[in-house]
Amino acid sequence: MFSSKSKAWSVFCAVVSLFILSAGILKLTVFAQAVENVKAADLRPRTTVVTKTVSASSKSFRAAATENARLKNSLAWAFGSKTQTGWYLYEALIQHTLKIEDNAETPEFALAVSGWQKQNGLAPTGILDKETLMALVKYWQARRLNSSIYPSDDKMLTAPISFFYDPTRSVELLKVQSEAFEAYKRMVAAAAADKSLKLKISKNGEFAPEEKFLKIVSAFRSREYQAKLRAQSPQSGSAGLATNSPHFTGQALDIYVGGEPVTTKDFNRAVQVQTPVYKWLVKNAERFGFYPYYYEPWHWEYVPRNLNK
């Protein structure tokens, strides 16, 4: 016979065991439910919210960004005797100069403008106003060839007609300064290697007959030929057809970048500056020694003195 103490101990042990067993079952149930919840969460569609971080320094340029968004399409200025409105046609060039890809409407763009202004002795407001635009134009113009000296015959060559936009162009208009043409071909090869441009150019640098982009519209032009062009377009002025043209050197190339090849109407230039080829040239041409005439998206000049600078 068990003593009363032994019976009491047995009952106590049974109760404790039952409690431990119940707690274990409860934990397993909670764990199982947690696993089910995780599985359910994994099966639910997820929405990823990507938020662009605006640096503390650029936040202070939000007002400048608002003003830039307005001036981009409304700033009044003049090019020679031609009234200009806004600087939207030069946004890609401005971004490249500022070493930034942010759009003109952003605080980051205004911050970059402020840095460039400070480097060039202007008030660092971040607003791309007329004074800042004129400073940018001066900078771009300073990088051009700025020469109209005829090259000697031994420095010229007649380029294959396959490199020209017009397949019927007369042979006397196929001349190019030799070094400039070799640099141009290297540039074309680099562009062809960029698959995003989808250019139809063979590995040996030959253009497919149907390809137009990057072909040469005009290269060397003699003084006599330039005078003939001016006579045909008396309203063009020096901005459109210079009396002393860099084309005289054989180092200035008009390159097809879209739209009407060499029409300065704003609607045409607006088409040209948006083409992938033009944007590629803005970012890459100087690697091969070519620099733009900002007003004409198609006009690029070979300036070897700028290389390695």
pLDDT digits (tens, 9 = 90+) for 186-221: 999 999 999 999 999 988 888 999 999 999 999 998
C-alpha atoms less than 13 angstroms from C-alpha of 240 in its C-beta half-sphere: 16
The fold of the 56-142 domain, in CATH, is: Muramoyl-pentapeptide Carboxypeptidase; domain 1 (1.10.101)
Mean pLDDT lowest among 158-162, 229-233, 267-271, 284-288:
229-233
Q: With cut-offs at 50, 70 and 90, classify the pLDDT of residue 19.
A: very low
Topology alike, domains 56-142 and 153-306? no
* Long-range CB pairs of 298-301, under 8 A, 24+ apart, other chains included: 298/217, 298/254, 298/255, 298/256, 298/257, 298/261, 298/262, 298/272, 299/252, 299/253, 299/254, 299/255, 300/252, 300/253, 300/254, 300/255, 301/144, 301/145, 301/246, 301/251, 301/252, 301/253
pTM score above 0.95: no
Q: With cut-offs at 50, 70 and 90, classify the pLDDT of residue 8.
A: low
Task: Return the SS3 of 169.
Answer: coil
Task: Please enumerate in sequence order all residues whose Cβ is within 8 A of that of 103, keeping only pairs 6 or more positions apart, or say none.
Answer: 91, 109
What value does the CA radius of gyration of the chain take, rounded to a whole number of Å?
34
The residue extents of the domains of the chain are 56-142, 153-306
Q: Which residue has the higher pLDDT, 130 or 59?
A: 130
Say if residue 42's pLDDT is above 60: no
CB 158 within 8 A of CB 171: yes
Architecture of the domain whose range is 153-306: 2-Layer Sandwich (3.30)
Q: In what order do the strands lie in the sheet with 296-302?
A: 216-218, 252-255, 296-302, 290-293
Task: Return the SS3 of 260.
Answer: coil
* Angle at the Cα of 289 from the Cα atoms of 285 and 291, rounded to 5 degrees: 60
Angstrom distance (rounded) from CA 2 to CA 200: 102
Say if residue 282's pLDDT is above 70: yes
Say if residue 31's pLDDT is above 60: no
Which pair of structure tokens corresponds to residue 90?
């030069």
